[in-house]
Amino acid sequence: MMRPWPEARVTVVLDTPVAIYSGMAPGFVAGQYRRSELEIDVVPLARLAGVEIVLTAATGVDPEAQRILLDGRPPLAYDFASFDIGSTVAGLDLPGIRRHAIATRPIARLVREVDRLERAFLAHDGPRPFSVCVAGGGAGGVELAFTVRERLLAADPARPLRVTLLHALPELLPGFPASLARRARRHMATRGIEVRTDALVTAVEPGQVRLKGAGTLRADALVWAVGAASRRLFHDSGLPLDERGFVLTCPTLQTVGDDRIFAVGDCATLRDWPRTPKAGVYAVRQGPFLEDNLRRIVAGARLRSYRPQRDFLTLLNLGDGTALGAKWGASFEGRSVMRLKDRIDRRFMEKFQVLDDQDRTAAAFSRMDVGAMETMLCGGCAAKAGQTTLDRALSRLREAFGPGPGADSDRVRLGLTQADDAAAFATPRGDVVVTSVDWFRAFSGDHWLNGRVAAANALSDLFATGARPRYAMALVTLPESDPEEERAEALFQLLAGARSLLDELGVALLGGHTTIGPELTVGFSVEGHPIGERLLTLDGLRPGDGLYLTKALGSGVVLRGVMLGRGRGPWLEAAAKQMVRPNARAASVAVDAGIRGATDVTGFGLMNHLAEMMRASAVSADLEVASLPALPGAVELLAGGLRSTAHEANRNIVKAVLADPDAVRHRRFELLFDPQTSGGFLCGVPEEKRERFLAALAASGVEAVRIGIVAPPRPDGAVARIRATAA
């Protein structure tokens, strides 16, 4: 963030946007920290640093082709790649471990499972104690034995509990000072934690753990903390691995055999120091070397060599406000040690947590200059020309030239003289063709996602008219500033993303047009045929129809928030998941149910699209602001004053509505004007068809929310009355 890197385009590939800091996980288990205090959201960090984001798991690497293999989509090209993917837990393939044990990696799973463990403890009934076994006598297992005990006893101090630590080796805490292990044993004895060494777990079954040569041990729960194992990502790469499957690296942190690939942290083994523990402290120390060497290799400069430190400060949380510590062969303990650990952990986290619990920018990041980012236009449908601009231009066009040759022919079902979501015309043979075109500025550095969303967005206009799309043509502008190879890769990813959706829907991509311009844009011209005997149209609403919407609102402000480093990773995940979902099922159900009036909600926002329907149908609407569905984060960002670049233009429609004061003050009011990309299916449902429509929609896996009702035209000419809640 503080050292811009214009020479490189950096992309971070994430299987999940939120990382859990392992150093504070035992404290969370003990109830000392909230979950938010140990979470690092990578998305706002990346955006503030100008780094692009791909929210898809990496599954492998092809060094020869210089590609990162991704889950469910084409590989991603790289010039240089850096891996810090951590490790998994050893022994997961032993009988019953995956099904019955609580594994400590991924750490996010451990955090989720703690509540389940507590519920099982509180639900346990009977005279015998609830038995928890912790497998693993390293630092992680020792901390968890203490902190799990504290968590459960805090939930019910009177309920009997037995905690047993199982370790396959003769001594606890191998590799640490012997005095630290003695202190740990003494505290375990004081608290009634049983320690069993030379206890190798071979299997786990419901209610019991099987030990090698020692029969079985009763266990109502098993926490699995037995040490690190390699992930499979490098196993088919051809890169040299150590005997445990970890990729081997040089002192420069490059992989042995391929100097274009770097690997740090638990996923790698240093060739020259193979006995370096799989501990987070080494990954943290490697960070500055990695960052510097990536810059150096791009610049063609000599790389620095990393050498692991010979010793490091060990701090083990005992869960009761005290901790054990060790450094330079000596050990120590007490509340002051826990205060030291807490201070170190919190200072570390302050460097990475952009947003606080109230979704405000944290003090450490609030001083950053984001002025240039704030002036950037939004992508997606938030970059569409405003409704007023469009209306004025079309009005002048009709005045100057009339409808145009054949535009008012009886073959034209939908066109400029009867504007709707798509155009429709009949061929000389009588077949009805429905067609539309839509494209937008790319909203993400993930071009596969841009392509899939653009396809869903373009097809949405056909679904809104009750048509089934059959053919598509691509329209792409590639940035003139990019090298030819990058433009080719971007075009491939865009079209691959689009094909992933078009193929699912049986839509053939026949070709298209590609040009070079100042920025990346993508869209499609699409064509299809009516699903039923008549099209769904804007003028199909009648008083008494319920107004139903199938997708949540807020994609415009969420994408804006992500762009400015004010949006959380899970918010981006939810928005992306919704945007790539087509309105195909909703359209099919609407046609089958005999619905007549529908539209889709895109760049002009819900209120403008609804106003088009009201005017075309010569009716008005009664809307309930409290009923408007919202994407995660949208209401919070709007309440904080953030707006997409098209929001204010969309808000001009407020002059044509009558809004109650309590509606205007409602936190969801501004959702009415937020521009949507690949937004929901909006339709009017007559009361007699409501039950059938909603049942069929639910059966197809689509949820619809009632946001209001169609009313007779208002004497004051307002297109809608907006209330906070239903009258």
Return d(Cα 237, Cα 230) in angstroms, integer.
14
Residues 6+ apart with CB under 8 A from 45: 1, 51, 352, 354, 565
Residue 185 phi/psi, 5-degree rounding, is -65, -40
Q: Tokens representing 581? A: 């979902």
The active-site residue out of 133, 267, 381, 683 is: 381
Answer whether 276's CB lies under 8 Å from 259's CB. Answer: no
Q: Which residues contact 321 (CB under 8 A, 6 or more apart)?
A: 335, 338
Distance (Å) of CA 83 to CA 264, 285, 331, 383, 499: 6, 15, 34, 35, 29
- Distance between CA 660 and CA 638 in Å, rounded? 19
What is the token pair recorded at 667?
């936190």
How many other CB atoms are found less than 10 A from the CB of residue 484?
Answer: 8
How would you classify the pairing of strands 130-135 and 254-255? unpaired
8 A C-beta contact, residue 410 and residue 600: no
Q: What's the CA gap between 374 and 321, in Å, rounded?
A: 44
Give residue 154's Cα distance to chain centre: 34
Is the four-CA dihedral 624, 628, 634, 636 of positive or negative sign? Answer: positive
Contact between residue 223 and residue 237 where contact means Cβ atoms under 8 Å apart: no
Residue pair 598/540 in contact by the 8 Å Cβ criterion: yes
Which residue's structure tokens are 């907006």?
A: 722
Residue that has been written with the tokens 């298209």 in this structure: 512
Ramachandran sector of residue 126 (left: φ over 0; alpha: ψ -120 to 50; beta: rest)? left
Angle of CA points 451, 704, 380, to nearest 5°? 25
The C-alpha atoms of residue 647 and residue 652 are separated, in whole angstroms, by 9
Amino acid sitting at position 413: R
> Which own/partner contact pairs does 478-485 have at CB distance under 8 Å and 24+ positions apart?
478/514, 478/515, 478/516, 478/517, 478/520, 479/516, 479/517, 479/518, 479/519, 479/520, 480/516, 480/517, 480/518
Tell me 541's DSSP state. Answer: -
First to last CA, the chain: 50
Of 228, 219, 188, nearest to 201 by C-alpha is: 219
Indicate if 378 belongs to the active site.
no
Here the tokens at position 343 are 């201070």
Q: Could you tell me the two tokens for 78?
A: 């790289």
Sign of CA dihedral 485, 487, 488, 490: positive
131/208 Cα distance (integer angstroms): 9
Residue in the structure block whose two tokens are 């429709």: 424
- State how beta strands 546-549 and 705-711 pair: antiparallel
Backbone angles phi, psi at 152, to 5 degrees: -70, -40
CA angle centred on 577, ends 574 and 579, rounded to 5°: 105
Cα separation, 152 vs 145, in Å, equals 11
Tell me which DSSP letter residue 329 carries.
T
Residues with a catalytic annotation lie at 381
